[in-house]
Amino acid sequence: MSQPVSMSGPRPGRCRVCDADVVEFLDLGAQPLSDAFLTPKDIGHEFFYRLAVGRCTGCTMVQLMEEVPRERMFHAEYPYHSSGSSVMREHFAATARRFLDTELAGTEDPFVVELGCNDGVMLKTVHEAGVRHLGFEPSGSVGRLAAESGVRVREAFFEESSAADLRRREGAADVIYAANTLCHIPYMDSVLRGVDALLAADGVFVFEDPYLGDIVERTSFDQIYDEHFFFFTARSVRAMARRAGLELVGVERLPVHGGEVRYTLARAGSRQPSPAVAELLAEEEARGLADPRTLDAFAERVARHRDELVALLRRLRAEGRTVAAYGATAKSATVTNYCGIGTESVSFVSDSTPAKQDRLSPGMHLPVVPPEVFAKARPDYALLFAWNHAEEIMRKEEDFAREGGRWILYVPEVRVV
Ligand code: SAH
Ligand code: TYD
Ligand code: ZN
């Protein structure tokens, strides 16, 4: 029997950038919402979707096969606080200073717009400099924190209509910025039309997200979860930009969150691309980052790392060791649910975020506790879910290692340190 065909809205298996076929290369199974930390009454009512990822046969963009409706993920109880890491606070303060001192120097009455400003970690510095700004933040929980520090916030999703509305009311933006947010947005066509409506003639659209090159190199498969819809490369971003009348004029590799790239887009012909763009494109070509065989080999390593991690936890349990986890990250939803890590192998997860504490992790229901509980419990091993903050956390928890505790890492390899 034939299915009714809808001419509007996305078709499954079609690229959300160029509409060509997307070929799946990795299936991580049924997964819950990665940031949905539960209270006991939520048990039995969790939302699951199929987490699988594929590569576009047209523009090479790597993307999820299935999309979770945005209101399920970003809402008044969204628990992720960007300011929870001192390294990230410094990273975003430096980013703001660079916009103010370099990009915007000499611009009269500049205007900075951010997508996904979260608790204001970046815009706070822009506000303190007295520069006109606005943050789009659909999640009221974190947007409120930004507003409390003086940042101007609009509780809305950035898309074509909200961007065009802002342009009418407040004029063009000189910098449009998004950190760890553009990759969260499947409706890319609408966002790019919004950027086109809002961006000044000589403005820049700057965004930074986890880099597919680092994910493949480090087998960091836990970067794949509901909120991370796209996995960018210079090549796929360049193709995406061209479709929107924009040009990729800058790339910069960043060490944060396990390896990211900051892309700078400008209106086509308005700026000279930096040599770093051609260099990164050539490096991606040499590595075969757009080659299906590279992605198939990645998928094989993912399964191997899962087997190694499961075997390690099983052995520690058989030896009677106690194991806790550290960092109730969104990423860890993928690890725990894909590997089947429940309370029989990990007794709890320590996390400093009040909105996650005293709740249960999505899917596998590990209790989330404050760091003081971790310090008192003194487990033999701690599985580091927030491996991207390893240095900061290991420094903070140096007593744990001094007293004989060992860290378990699974990126880039499963190992005990
Ligand atoms: N920029 C911060 C926050 C990243 S989390 C950082 O790098 O730490 C992603 C944020 O994007 C969330 O706060 C979420 O509510 C927001 N978001 C999701 N879709 C959005 C959209 N269409 N427009 C603006 N913000 C969005
Ligand atoms: P993060 O890795 O930044 O993002 P995601 O949720 O997108 O995977 O999340 C880090 C988590 O770890 C966050 O819940 C806060 C927590 N955390 C601590 O508990 N202690 C710390 O010292 C740091 C840096 C983070
Ligand atoms: Zn495509």
The domain total for the chain is 1
State the average pLDDT for the chain.
96
Three-class SS state of 105: coil
Instruction: Write the DSSP string, 15-84.
Output: -TTT--BEEEEEEEEEEE-TT-PBPGGGTT---EEEEEEEEETTT--EEESS---HHHHSSTT----GGG
Sign, Cα dihedral of 267, 270, 276, 277: positive
CB-based contact 34:226 (threshold 8 Å) = yes
Global pTM value: 0.97
Q: Is 138 in the pocket of ligand 1 (CB under 6 A)?
A: yes
Q: Which residues have CB under 6 Å of ligand 2? A: 80, 84-85, 327-331, 351-353, 356, 386, 388-389, 392-393, 396
| Residue 21: CB atoms within 10 Å | 12
Q: Which atom in ligand 2 lies closest to the alpha carbon of residue 35?
A: 6
Domain range enclosing 277: 82-293
Pairing relationship of beta strands 48-56 and 22-32 according to DSSP bridges: antiparallel
- 54 in any annotated domain: no
pLDDT in tens, 45-90: 999 999 999 999 999 999 999 999 999 999 999 999 999 999 999 9
Q: What is the pLDDT of residue 5?
A: 45
Tell me the one-letter amino acid at 51: L
Q: What is the DSSP letter of 205?
A: E
Q: Given ligand 2 and candidates 358, 389, 393, which is best to mutate, with the most ligand atoms within 8 Å of its CB? A: 389
Q: What is the pLDDT of residue 242?
A: 98
Please, which pLDDT band fits residue 399 given cuts at 50, 70 and 90? very high
Ligand 1: centre distance to CA 254 (Å)? 19
Q: Sheet harboring 62-64: ordered strands across?
A: 22-32, 48-56, 62-64, 230-231
Q: Which atom in ligand 2 lies closest to the alpha carbon of residue 393?
A: 22
- 347 in any annotated domain: no
pLDDT in tens, 299-316: 999 999 999 999 999 999
Q: Which helix (H) or strand (E) holds 222?
A: none
- 146 in any annotated domain: yes
Ligand 3: centre distance to CA 257 (Å)? 25
Where residue 213 sits, what CATH number does that domain have? 3.40.50.150
Q: Whose CA is nearest to atom 10 of ligand 1?
A: 116
pLDDT in tens, 230-258: 999 999 999 999 999 999 999 999 999 99
Tell me the one-letter amino acid at 148: E
Q: Whose CA is nearest to atom 3 of ligand 1?
A: 118
| Residue 398: CB atoms within 10 Å | 11
- 107 in any annotated domain: yes
- 307 in any annotated domain: no
pLDDT in tens, 266-325: 999 999 999 999 999 999 999 999 999 999 999 999 999 999 999 999 999 999 999 999
In sequence order, what are the residues at sequence separation of 6 or more whose Cβ sits closer than 8 angstroms to the Cβ of residue 253?
A: 211, 259, 260, 261, 262, 280
Can you tell me the distance from the alpha carbon of 284 to that of 215, in angstroms, rounded to the nearest whole number?
A: 13
Closest alpha carbon to 333 in 78, 84, 120, 34: 34
Pairing relationship of beta strands 260-267 and 199-210 according to DSSP bridges: antiparallel
Ligand 2: centre distance to CA 80 (Å)? 8
- What distances in angstroms separate CA 105 from CA 178, 271, 320, 363, one per listed residue? 20, 17, 61, 48
Residues in the chain: 417
- 394 in any annotated domain: no
- 155 in any annotated domain: yes
Q: Whose CA is nearest to atom 22 of ligand 2?
A: 393
Q: What is the pLDDT of residue 9?
A: 64
Please, which pLDDT band fits residue 8 given cuts at 50, 70 and 90? low
Q: Whose CA is nearest to atom 9 of ligand 1?
A: 181
- 320 in any annotated domain: no
